[in-house]
């Protein structure tokens, strides 16, 4: 880790199936509640999987007005609202003195697929003259980043990570690197996804990636459980404000925690399936630890990627066992996705928020719906009930189709470092 440029977390924002603000979201995560239910955003009756983690009661028009809301795909709306909350939470005042030193890095795996489907239906029904002039700006994956930077009027680095379900971990990790390198003093970063459309959900069904436990949606997402049958798709948006420590201190910012490491790798194995030997995941874990200048014994908790797929959870558990050795038997490793499903490109941001709050509050979120021990996953998955524990250092894992692996390391903030 480069010396002299420490990076701290000063703001959090979230729009999720478990609440549309960080306090509500975190309270429900600690309580082990499920945010998964029947799909209502469209009629899913023809699909094998008809359940999801939906964001409910969300109205972006309250933030931007009805006219501007209609020019934003839902994935941008979710990102925009999360970023607004994170900046307000950080109490970061943006003005002419600092706006050139503040940037935005967000991630999304799919982008504006809801807009694509809506406009395609319009094309077929009424012809090309009815295509919206906002069609292209609404669908492109980088537009959420652009809209946030326009709203904040910041001129620092802007970039969008598109690495499937690792997208927001890459966005956060790259923002961390930018601050470390001195290219910015503060960054708004995270990710969003709004994949609850007939085509997107149908596509994941065609891959047989989704749970079909339609009659029991609240217990359908069951990471590490031997009876797991696929992930539950979800939507959401999450954002963090990262700042260079001295920049944050000069303005008297409240600090949630510190980000101290970032490890990346590629499986180089398959376009969708995880490497059964988990070579890439092991490499990312080792690089994250090395970057943070810590050992496996220093880690108190891992917020797992664990999506509730048979192959993916096994590969992650085996990678943890390989890297952490005997320590893996007692190290708490839980999956937030058991509660709110898999929000794809937003997952890492939502789980990063939970990881930071775990360190702050000393409460490890549970893996709910865990009933059947899987010998292939010999880890302590914090089954069903949150656990009080002092957590000083925690990892947050994210892995994406194509073999993308990205792991973040967070630490309790201490002035002396």
Active site residues: 165, 305, 342
Cα 103 to Cα 64: distance, rounded to the nearest angstrom? 21
Q: Which two tokens stand for residue 294?
A: 């810590």
Please state whether beta strands 333-334 and 102-107 pair in parallel, antiparallel, or not at all (unpaired).
Answer: unpaired
Question: What sign does the dihedral 295-10-365-85 (CA atoms) show?
Answer: negative
Using the structure block, give the residue that is written with the tokens 């409910």: 56
Alpha-carbon distance of 305 to 366, in angstroms, equals: 13
Q: Which residues pair with 165 in a beta bridge?
A: none
Contact 344, 193 (CB under 8 A): yes
Contacts of 95 (CB under 8 A, 6+ apart): none
Would you call 186 helix, strand, or coil by DSSP? strand
Edge-to-edge strands of the sheet including 236-244? 158-161, 102-107, 186-193, 236-244, 7-15, 257-266, 404-411, 393-400, 301-303, 333-334
Q: Give the DSSP H or E segment for 244.
A: strand 236-244
SS3 394: strand
Q: Which of 242, 258, 311, 260 is nearest to 281 (CA)?
A: 311
First to last CA, the chain: 13
408 neighbors 261 (Cβ within 8 angstroms): yes
For residue 216, give the nearest of 46, 51, 16 by alpha carbon.
51
Contact 396, 307 (CB under 8 A): no
Short-list 101, 76, 66, CA closest to 151 = 76
The answer to whether 348 and 169 have CB atoms below 8 angstroms apart is: yes
φ and ψ of 398, to 5 deg: -150, 130
């Amino acid at each position: 880790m480069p010396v002299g440029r420490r990076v701290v977390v000063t703001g959090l924002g979230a729009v999720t199936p478990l609440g549309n603000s960080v306090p509500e979201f975190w309270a429900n995560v600690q309580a082990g509640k499920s945010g998964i239910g029947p799909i209502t955003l469209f009629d899913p009756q023809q699909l094998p999987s008809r359940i999801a983690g939906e964001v409910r009661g969300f109205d972006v028009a309250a933030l931007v007005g009805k006219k501007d809301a209609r020019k934003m795909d839902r994935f941008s709306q979710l990102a925009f609202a999360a970023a607004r909350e994170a900046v307000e939470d950080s109490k970061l005042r943006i003005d002419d003195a600092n706006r050139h030193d503040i940037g935005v890095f967000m991630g999304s795996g799919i982008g504006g697929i809801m807009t694509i489907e809506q406009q395609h239906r319009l094309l077929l029904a009424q012809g090309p003259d009815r295509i919206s002039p906002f069609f292209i700006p609404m669908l492109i994956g980088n537009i959420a980043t652009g809209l946030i930077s326009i709203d904040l009027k910041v001129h620092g680095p802007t970039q969008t990570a598109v690495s499937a379900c690792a997208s927001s971990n890459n966005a956060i990790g790259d923002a961390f690197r930018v601050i470390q390198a001195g290219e910015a003093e503060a960054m708004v970063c995270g990710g969003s996804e709004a994949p609850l459309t007939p085509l997107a959900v149908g596509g994941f069904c065609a891959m047989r990636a989704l749970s079909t436990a339609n009659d029991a949606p609240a217990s359908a997402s069951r990471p590490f459980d031997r009876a797991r049958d696929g992930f539950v798709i979800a939507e959401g948006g999450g954002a963090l404000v990262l700042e260079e420590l001295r920049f944050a201190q000069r303005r008297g910012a409240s600090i949630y925690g510190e980000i101290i490491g970032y490890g990346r790798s590629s499986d180089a194995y398959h376009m969708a399936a995880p490497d059964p030997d988990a070579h890439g995941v092991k490499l990312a874990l080792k690089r994250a630890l090395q970057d943070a200048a810590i050992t496996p014994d220093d880690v108190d908790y891992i917020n797992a990627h664990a999506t509730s797929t048979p192959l993916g959870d096994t590969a992650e558990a085996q990678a943890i066992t390989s890297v952490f050795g005997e320590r893996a038997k007692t190290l708490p490793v839980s999956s937030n996705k058991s509660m709110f499903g898999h929000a794809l490109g937003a997952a890492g941001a939502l789980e990063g928020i939970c990881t930071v709050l775990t360190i702050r509050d000393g409460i490890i979120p549970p893996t709910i719906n865990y009933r059947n021990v899987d010998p292939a996953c010999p880890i302590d998955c914090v089954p069903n009930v949150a656990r009080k524990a002092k957590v000083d250092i925690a990892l947050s894992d994210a892995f994406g189709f194509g073999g993308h692996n990205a792991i973040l390391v967070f630490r309790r903030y201490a002035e002396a470092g």
